[in-house]
Chains A and B, each alone.
Chain A
């Protein structure tokens, strides 16, 4: 059963992504409201994929990606960045710091499911 960590400060987006992830068979969603909360969840649960927003309070998504990549215990976890920034340079920046994929908002659920499946082999 793949565990997917959804890191989003917006409850609307968290609920929407969790809804979409329910359609990936056997997946379990773990929710976090910011980067710090995500690191706590990473230390307490085995996570197979991270879906993270960039703009979040306390700790943003980019900082979270760099911390995850710098930790040998988590460095191989695939990370998908979901954000309102749609410019090409934002995408390049996210990939450069270690994100595996980038999805601009508003998200297309089918596209998200397809992308998640490509990492967790659903």
Chain B
């Protein structure tokens, strides 16, 4: 009986211990669950904070790339503007180059000969080919008569161009004052070679006028004068004048030389007879 009581007591004690153990185990399991949950939370937090950092990093990168893109766009715009400027400048330089070539050729040709008739021919060529005039005349000053006399024409005969008194009409006034005349209407009706040219250029050596170029009409395709035409008019005013004057002097002196030479030959021959 006593033994049974002991066994029962021990069994109770064991059950108590077992219950406590069970409770402890339950508590441990609960604690374990809590810790797992906490770990999961922490892991999630860490993961989230990692994503945010990555997002932040990507955002920064995107911003940098966007800034670079904007800067490149800005630079591209600037380069495009510069290109446009260069293109405009290139066209200007090309035009200037062509104009200079025209002026060079005109000047070169004018001074390429000392033959008076050739010089006149070259003046006509320049006015036809480089300026685009259809009817015009070159008149030179005759000091003895105080008149401007036509010496070369294009598109009409010399007989059709009247002599002009110095200081009279447009042509005479241009010769007297030494200032070019440009009519406002370059394609005037009835372009007869009267005293109403559309352009009249004095041929000047310094301030001394030796003649004029009088243009009465332009070629049908020549609508208006360009900048290089005015440059050519200026060039003709000076260079054509010098070329005409020098060649005339040279031709005259050549003629005189021939006469003197013939005279000397004649004198040399006389004593022999």
Contacts and interface: CB of A to CB of B under 8 A. Distances in A.
A56 to B, nearest CB: 13
A83 to B, nearest CB: 10
Nearest to A108: B98
A20 B130 contact: no
Contact of A12 (B94, B95, B106, B222): B106
A16 B220 contact: no
23 contacts: A11-B109, A11-B112, A12-B109, A12-B122, A12-B126, A13-B125, A15-B105, A15-B109, A16-B101, A19-B101, A19-B104, A84-B219, A86-B219, A87-B220, A105-B128, A105-B129, A106-B129, A106-B131, A106-B132, A106-B219, A108-B98, A109-B98, A110-B98
Contacts of A11: 109, 112, 122, 125
Given A11-B125, A84-B128, A105-B219, 5 more contacts: A12-B109, A16-B129, A106-B131, A109-B101, A110-B94
- SS of B interface (majority): helix
Question: Which 3 A/B pairs are nearest by Cβ-Cβ distance?
Answer: A86-B221, A109-B98, A106-B132
Contacts of B94: 110
Contacts of B24: none
Contacts of A86: 219-222
B108 A104 contact: no
Most chain A beta carbons < 10 A, residue from B108, B131, B221 = B221
A103 to B, nearest CB: 10
B207 to A, nearest CB: 28
B219 A12 contact: no
B102 interface: yes
A13 B129 contact: yes
Contacts, number: 59
Interface in A78-122: 84, 86-87, 104-110
B167 to A, nearest CB: 33
A10 interface: yes
Interface residues of B, number: 24
B125 A106 contact: no
Contacts of A13: 125, 129
A108 B98 CA distance: 8
A10 B122 CA distance: 8
A1 to B, nearest CB: 22
A12 B105 contact: yes
Contact of B219 (A10, A16, A104, A108): A104
Interface string B203-242: 0000000000000000111100000000000000000000
Among A10, A16, A87, the most chain B Cβ lie within 10 Å of the Cβ of A16
Contacts of B108: 15
A11 B118 CA distance: 11
A19 B105 contact: yes
A107 B102 CA distance: 10
Contacts of A106: 129-132, 219, 222
Contacts of A105: 128-129, 132, 219
B128 to A, nearest CB: 6
Contacts of A110: 94-95, 98
Interface string B82-116: 00000000000011001001101110110010000
